Amino acid sequence: MRQVLDLHIHSRYSRACSPKLLPENIEQTCRTKGVDVIATGDFTHPEWAAILKKDLEEIFPDAGLYKLKRAADDKVKFLLSTEVALIYMDGGRCRRIHLVVQAPNMSAVVELNRQLAKRFNIHSDGRPILGISAPEFVKLVLKINDKFLIYPAHIWTPWFSVFGSKSGFDTLEECFREQTEHIYAYETGLSSDPEMNWRLSALDNLTVLSNSDAHSLNNIAREANIMEIDEPITYQKIYDIIKYRRRVAPAETDREGMRETLEFYPEEGMYHLDGHRDCAFSCEPTESRRLKNICPQCGEPLVIGVLNRVEELADRPYGFRPLSAVGFRKTVELDKIIGEALGLKNRASVAVQKQYRRLTETYGSEIEILLDLDLQTVNEEIDVRIIEGIRRVRDGELIITPGFDGQYGQINIFSSADKSER
C-alpha cells in the first residue's frame, strides 16, 4: 500500500511557526494533501507533549503510531518526532548541528524529556538548544530505547547542519564518532535533492529522506517520502525500512520499502547558491572560488551555500547514480501553481483557495493531483492555465532564480510573454 510520509514538521511552540499548527489542523491538512503518516514535531516541548497526550491515541497497542482521538478513522497517523539543536565545541570550533529524532512510543518520549529537562531548558522552544555533543546525545537517546531513530536534519544547510559550511564537519564519522553506526538516514533539506547527494559515496549506505520541515500548515508535504507498507502500518515497519534501506522498484507492489521521495526544486531553497543577502549578490561555486569567497559589493565573506559545499566534499561527478538509489520527483505545491496561473502572488487568497478546494474535492488529494491525475480528463470548470501549470511542473519547464543566504529562490512557471497573452 502506498504511504506518503512527512517525518519532520514543527508545532506552534517553535520559533517563527504558525499558531495554527495544532493536531486537529495538521490532521485535516494531511487529509487534503494526501499525507498518511505525519510527524508530530516538537515532542520535547512540555506543553506540546501534553497536547499530544491529550489529543492523540495509539492506533492499536504497540503500533507506535497515533491518531487524532476525535477522528473517525486512522487515515492520518502521527509519528512522534522532534528536532533538536546541538551547540557545542569540538575540534576547536563551535558546532551547531540539527538532528531529527523519532520515538517508538509515548513512554520513550516521556523518559527522554525527563532526562533532558534535568540538564537543559526544554521549555523555551519547540526545537530545544542542547549543549551536548552529537555522540553523547545519540548515546543518551538510545540508552532510553534502542528503537529511536536519529538522523541529520537538512544535512547541508550552512548554519545548522552536519555538513554545513559554517559549523559542520566533513564526514559523519567526525561528527558522530563511535555512534556513527547508529545513524541510518539523512535528510536532504530543501536546498539539495538526492541527485546532489549521490555525488558523495560516504552517504550510499544511508536512507535518503526528504521532509517538509514545515513551519506552517500549507508547507506540509512540500517534501515527503513515498513508501510501500503493508497493513497493519506500524512504527516498527517504518523503522525497518529506514534502518535496513529497504526499497521497491517502480513496478513492485508486493514488497515493503522506500519507493521514491518528493522534492522541492533545490534552487528554490534558501541556501542553494553562495551569496550575500544584504548586497543582493549571489553566484555559482566557480565564481565564489574566483572571488576567494569574498562579496565583491562589501568585501565581507560570502555565505557558502549547499551547491558549493556538495562540490567541495563530492567524490563523484554530477549525474552519477548509485545502483541502489531510490527515485525522486520534483514538484511545486498546488496552491503555488494555482496562484501563478491566476496571476496572484498570495497563495492564501480567496480565489486561489477556491480553485484549490474545487480541484481537491473533485480529483483527490493534492499529491494525487500533482503526481497521478490524468490531465486529459479534467473537466472544463478548471482553468486551463492551472492544468498547463501542473504539466509544466511535471516536465520541469520552469524559470528558476536560485535562493541564497537565507533568501528563498523564485520559481516561475509562466514567462512574462505567457502572462501578457492572458
**287, part of any domain:** no
Q: Which three cell numbers stand for residue 24?
A: 486537529
**97, part of any domain:** yes
Look at residue 379 in the predicted model and tell me its pLDDT: 82
**286, part of any domain:** no
46-55 vs 23-33: helix crossing angle, rounded to 10: 70
Kindly state whether residues 351 and 249 are assigned to the same domain: no
How many degrees, rounded to 5, is the angle at CA 269 between CA 320 and CA 246?
45
> Which range of residues forms the domain containing residue 230?
2-267
Q: Which three cell numbers stand for residue 201?
A: 559515496
Q: What CA–CA distance (Å, rounded) separates 141 from 131? A: 15
**374, part of any domain:** yes
Mode of pairing for the β-strands spanning 56-58 and 66-68: antiparallel
Look at residue 250 in the predicted model and tell me its pLDDT: 78
DSSP labels for 297-310? TTSSBPB--HHHHH
Kindly state whether residues 73 and 213 are assigned to the same domain: yes
Q: Which three cell numbers stand for residue 125?
A: 522552544
Q: What share of the chain is helix, strand, coil (3-state, %, to 5)?
A: 35, 20, 45
Residues 6+ apart with CB under 8 A from 363: 369, 373, 378
Burial of residue 42, with CB atoms counted within 10 A of its CB: 0-12 exposed, 13-18 middle, 19 or more buried: buried
CATH number of 183's domain: 3.20.20.140
Q: What CA–CA distance (Å, rounded) separates 272 from 269? A: 6
Look at residue 391 in the predicted model and tell me its pLDDT: 97
**296, part of any domain:** no
106-119 vs 46-55: helix crossing angle, rounded to 10: 170
Kindly state whether residues 251 and 351 are assigned to the same domain: no
Look at residue 400 in the predicted model and tell me its pLDDT: 96
Our separate counts of H helices and E strands in the chain read 14, 18
Residues 6+ apart with CB under 8 A from 46: 113, 117, 122, 123
Give Cα separations from 189 to 101, 157, 208, 212, 244 (angstroms).
15, 7, 10, 8, 21
**247, part of any domain:** yes
Kindly state whether residues 177 and 64 are assigned to the same domain: yes
Low-confidence ranges of the chain (pLDDT < 70): 417, 419-422
Residues 6+ apart with CB under 8 A from 254: none
Look at residue 422 in the predicted model and tell me its pLDDT: 55
CB 94 within 8 A of CB 266: no
Could you tell me if residue 305 is left (phi over 0), alpha (psi between -120 and 50 degrees) or otherwise beta?
beta
What rounded mean pLDDT belongs to the chain?
A: 96
Residues 6+ apart with CB under 8 A from 93: 167
Among 310, 315, 385, 382, smallest CA distance to 344 is for 385
Look at residue 419 in the predicted model and tell me its pLDDT: 61
**297, part of any domain:** no
Q: What CA–CA distance (Å, rounded) separates 132 from 355? A: 48
Kindly state whether residues 341 and 201 are assigned to the same domain: no
Kindly state whether residues 35 and 178 are assigned to the same domain: yes
Look at residue 417 in the predicted model and tell me its pLDDT: 64
Kindly state whether residues 216 and 127 are assigned to the same domain: yes
Kindly state whether residues 6 and 155 are assigned to the same domain: yes
Look at residue 99 in the predicted model and tell me its pLDDT: 98
Count of domains in the chain?
Answer: 2
